[in-house]
Amino acid sequence: MLSWSRTFVGIHCKKVGRPPHVARTSAASKSRWSSTRSASELPGKVPVQGLDLQENFSKSLHAAQSTAKGPKTLNWSRQPRNILIVRKPKDDRTRSAFLEVTSWLRKQYPDVNIVVEQSVADEVPHMMDLCVMRPKEDLSGVIDFVITLGGDGTVLHTSQLFPKRAPPIIPFSLGTLGFLLPFGFVNFAEALKQVIEGSVPLLQRMRLDCVIRRDDGTIAQIEGRELEFQALNDIVLHRGRYPHMITTECSVDGEFLTGAIADGLIVSTPTGSTAYSLSAGGSLVHPSVQSILLTPICPRSLSFRPALLPPDVRVNLRLSKNSRATAEVSVDGRDVYLLGIAEHVEIKMSDYPLYTIARTVNGRDWVRDINHTLKWNQGFVNTHR
């Protein structure tokens, strides 16, 4: 079972040299990298013109609905300075892509600070021109945007790095799935140049806030950490390794909705509608449609169908006292907690959505993805003729 703890991240920088292939900068610029620095020493993120990426999106239903109206565009007030690169670890393809991207950035934008996770820095010890992330400091006010190199899982991992406010993400497809990956890597230079220098469309992706509470109202803890999570795809209450179905109770805004005997229940975002929920028979939902999806996993009752809920509701999931088995809670595919009878999972729309940079306006990439990646509603072909 995988465990996940809620952590903030910070960085320290060690730039003691510059590779020969990178253009030289001024003496003052070189001297600033002669020692290790903390996140507070990096310049703050560049303001975005005409768009507040830090605003609260779920104060009311009106706010939730209004955010889906009209395209959003990323325009910098000046050139971005701090770029985080997140890549799929221990993968030769993403390692090669990472080296290519960093080399290009150093040649084209030598004053940009490149930030990476410690695991990435450990794989390229010869690269000393990097800023390395470290735990327990919030980077939301430092990173201008994020480049991801990998699959959908790399985007989900990036979402977890920013439990609250998150910078925009440009995802490049180098993994096995591609529902969150509108950009191919072949033309990465052109795409990054447009992001850094031009005007690019943004797609707002709703996230879910998940809190595990005890029946006395307190938040459950593990080793002093409160169990509160952000989910870009889904939150799942499931039977895990146990062979028996679980008996669950679901309420919406304090009103009992249904009890279910099933392998589990999925509460997902529109982004997550093409993930586990889809495999369990849930509906496809465009990411611009603010909503919460409730999908059962192999229910005993054939009449238990998936449901689409408004974004401002609060969903509670708990085990019934009659349940024959315990249940595990998973957030974006990672098991985080074994739920007890005297506890429940409280889920609502997050105050902090995730922005991904899109190729087209209003999420039209989604239409292409369900046709080309998912092969949606395509007929069967007899290959033996």
Give me the active site residues, please. Answer: 152
DSSP assigned state of 219:
B
CA dihedral 170, 281, 285, 292 (to 10 degrees): -100
Give residues with Cβ within 8 angstroms of 153, minimum separation 6: 88, 175, 177, 333
CA gap 192, 19 in Å, rounded: 21
Tokens 């669950």, residue?
248
Strands (E), 75-112: 82-87
Contact 286, 366 (CB under 8 A): yes
Exposure string of 68-96, with b = 16+ CB inside 10 Å and e = fewer, is beeebebebeeebbbbbbbbbeebeebbe
Q: Is 307 exposed, middle or buried (0-12, 13-18, 19+ CB in 10 A)?
A: middle
DSSP H or E segment with residue 156:
helix 152-161
Contact 300, 261 (CB under 8 A): yes
